[in-house]
A and B are shown apart, each in its own frame.
Chain A
């Protein structure tokens, strides 16, 4: 667990706290099913889950964002650790860079297009496709930024939205590796 999470034990740990967990797993068939099955069976809530390989082909990294109080999250981590294909479980909630990539298709008329592009620029988004009545914007950022941008886009009408889910990495010396 992250240092400060440990210290707040028994203090007011909240059932809506958000934790980001990094999981290194053997890159084997079925490992995603095992993790998903565990979350379902133990009644844990996943907010998002992403998977991809690491610098080693035989090891994948999952980033799982969960909601719950500290006790629940500790159980999540311990239960994940029990899976044979799971090599390492780390809480990276603290001091980490979190990023998600989102593609948004927004309704755009000749009047609104300019404003949308301007907003996208402010958020360092990129316009990746423009058509007669819509526009696709690609944006990366942490949860707050993404939320804010999506909310802004609502006024124009969101036609389609695809999110990758969060990936995270702790700043500085700390590494999650085998």
Chain B
């Protein structure tokens, strides 16, 4: 069969249900093959959004997300999406068209060296130089994207390969000499970890996104309850542990709660699982958990010892390792530590001033009180941090955010992907007015495919997070952060696209409007919350400061 038909058949064999993308000359044969396929294709309106949507689909479902783009500008438009997925270890496949092999290197029309460009932001990438390698490469790509520490894989397919005759024999198994992820923890280190846990009087679990990627939430809950240990999560770890659980202290780091950051600073043992100790999580590294021994469990050996010193390194899959440790630890009461934490919790709750004005925190609280099962995606900035603070995640994959790259414009297309994975769930993008504009064109996609994503804009008419830094650290010199568009009507824009638009100006309207919006199941809904413009995200640990050097509002 034609290379293009082999590609589509291989994707079917991999169980792909949805592809996000935009066609073009170099990939037209593949789209032709797709015409006869049962695979659903969502035509996005920008390739960046196609990749974010595939990423959102992957994060929500745990399956590999797939995006298509044509050569040249189509391919280069995917780069931010790929980098976003790479930083957060999200398993996606991006397939790009390429000019025919005979033209590569000639600066042909719409030629771009996309494998060269994406080398540093992919887990691996391929250019298919021989039609006979095509199926093998697709098989490898899915395997690499979804195993070990997951990540994006790009496959660049020259147009003549998609036309070439290919015999369809999709490989069942593959073996890559240089890729053998280790899932089982070293027994000696597992034992050492158990000993440290038993000795510890003030243990804290730092749960990262790796728990979610390894589907280890159940094990984590049993682990935390058995010790028992309080759990703090990174931004990516939100959802790894239910946030209504009495042992959960929520998320830590730059905008984590005071009690979570105090717990992590004062503990005598950090059990870090599936986290890379990003600077947003640790604060100043030499001030990080100064009294603690550190156990670090991660599937990626390169993360161990990269940012913080580690006493017990365990390379392995979070689920496997937790199961092993669970077998050899016992319950131990730690009353003093529990009391200390309760005290901090009582003394320093997360809070905001409820002064009758429309507060973004209040809107976010309402979203989850009305519909606790809601999948929330976020944009980047204050909206993201308020969502992380006030949306109490119940289950893994419920909170989806660009943590590593911090990509404005991620949340909306990611919500489209999440909605495609769970058509019946309520999916809300908590947005900022700046970020939403970066992929607002996807309203057309939602209308086209009846995707009922809700966009809740915390509209402060500022690039709010940057403005907050300018207020606190740059003497209120608001350089280029004021979005002077009072007249901008997001509700009308939504309507212009054929979606639904709503405006909320008073706290009393929030609940009713959200309920009304959540009822709509066949069109996108944009709700423009005209929030208090100068509201800040607190508490805050300034960049480069220790986790206990916290600024309050």
Contacts and interface: CB of A to CB of B under 8 A. Distances in A.
Given A26-B178, A37-B119, A178-B177, A84 B305 contact: no
A26 B176 CA distance: 10
Contact of B176 (A29, A38, A84): A84
B177 A30 contact: no
A38 B123 CA distance: 12
Contact of A85 (B115, B129, B178, B305): B178
A30 to B, nearest CB: 7
Contacts of A75: 302, 306
B119 A34 contact: yes
A17 interface: no
A21 B176 CA distance: 22
Contact of B301 (A33, A37, A81): A81
B301 to A, nearest CB: 5
A83 interface: yes
B305 A71 contact: yes
Given A75-B302, A84-B178, A85-B178, A30 B115 contact: yes
Contacts of A87: 177-178
Nearest to B302: A78
Contact of A29 (B123, B129, B306): B129
B105 interface: no
Contact of B302 (A29, A41, A81): A81
Interface string B149-178: 000000000000000000000000000111
A84 B144 contact: yes
A78 B115 CA distance: 22
A26 B179 CA distance: 11
A84 B302 CA distance: 14
A26 B126 CA distance: 14
A79 interface: yes
A62 B177 CA distance: 17
Interface in B37-85: none
A79 B302 contact: yes
Interface of A: 25-26, 29-30, 33-34, 37-38, 41, 71, 74-75, 78-79, 81-88, 178
25 contacts: A26-B177, A26-B178, A29-B129, A30-B115, A30-B127, A33-B119, A34-B119, A37-B119, A37-B120, A38-B120, A41-B120, A74-B305, A75-B302, A79-B302, A82-B300, A83-B178, A84-B123, A84-B144, A84-B176, A84-B178, A84-B179, A86-B178, A87-B178, A88-B178, A178-B177
